[in-house]
Amino acid sequence: MKELWEKALDVFSLFCLDGKVALVTGGGKGLGEAIAYALAGAGADVAVAGKTLENVCRVAENITKMGRKSLPIKADVRNEEDVQRMVESVVQKFGRLDILVNNAGVASVHPITDFSTEEWEYIMDTNAKGVFLCAREAAKVMLKQKKGKIINISSLQGSSGRAGDPAYAASKAAVNLMTMAMACEWAPYGICVNAIAPTWCWTDLTKPILLQEIFYERLKERIPAQRVGNPEDLFGIVVFLASEASNFVNGAIIPLDGGAIACDGFPPVP
């Protein structure tokens, strides 16, 4: 048996994803695209799923340029049959599924009295029901393998409310509690389920809002790092949670926020 110091000589290998197969939902753009590249960069073959085939094909092509195998899949995470077909397609092509990243999500913010029932249901079905369906189907494969990593993309908004947001915040709170419930149930079978909770990050979706100077300055006041996130800020934490390095991390909701959640939002005392 190796001594502890001898085991540490191989510490970098813990983060290697060579031979692993990953599936990223909402992987055709934004944070999902960054996550797919991070997993491929660490050695995994990556299936990229999303509602727009053109987007997932573009990301899949880039992954092959990185020297990894990829599979573009058109799927709507709200649809149970789509999700089942998606997981089956991954297993059929690669023979296994080691990593699932539940990234697909939508948001809308405007006065609650103007929020239609249909809009509320669309957000909840995508962000909460979608995570449930994808995790459930992926777990069926991982339970047979006696191993797997499920990473749910939550949000800092999952632990606080804001005006005009009866659906997104509620959906991410649901993601947090599902993460914990899944971790409790599947941990004995070698499956780790964790969540990442980012603050605002630069994406095509958020760019029009973040370019509003007054809003951006107010955001920076609440973030000790004095900036919002970049897509590549997810690289390290995603690879960690997908790798052997995090085998004893389960049921965690990890902030990715430049220190925002550690700060009360008030300005420093002069």
The tens digit of pLDDT for each residue in 40-76 reads: 999 999 999 999 999 999 999 999 999 999 999 999 9
The tens digit of pLDDT for each residue in 82-95 reads: 999 999 999 999 99
The CA distance from 119 to 4, in Å, is 54
Active site residue 168: yes
In this prediction, residue 127 carries a pLDDT of 98
Tell which CATH classification among 1.10.3720.10, 3.40.50.720, 3.40.190.290, 3.90.1150.10 matches the domain 12-254. 3.40.50.720
Question: Position of tokens 């947090």?
Answer: 176
Catalytic residue among 37, 122, 168, 189: 168
The CA distance from 47 to 75, in Å, is 12
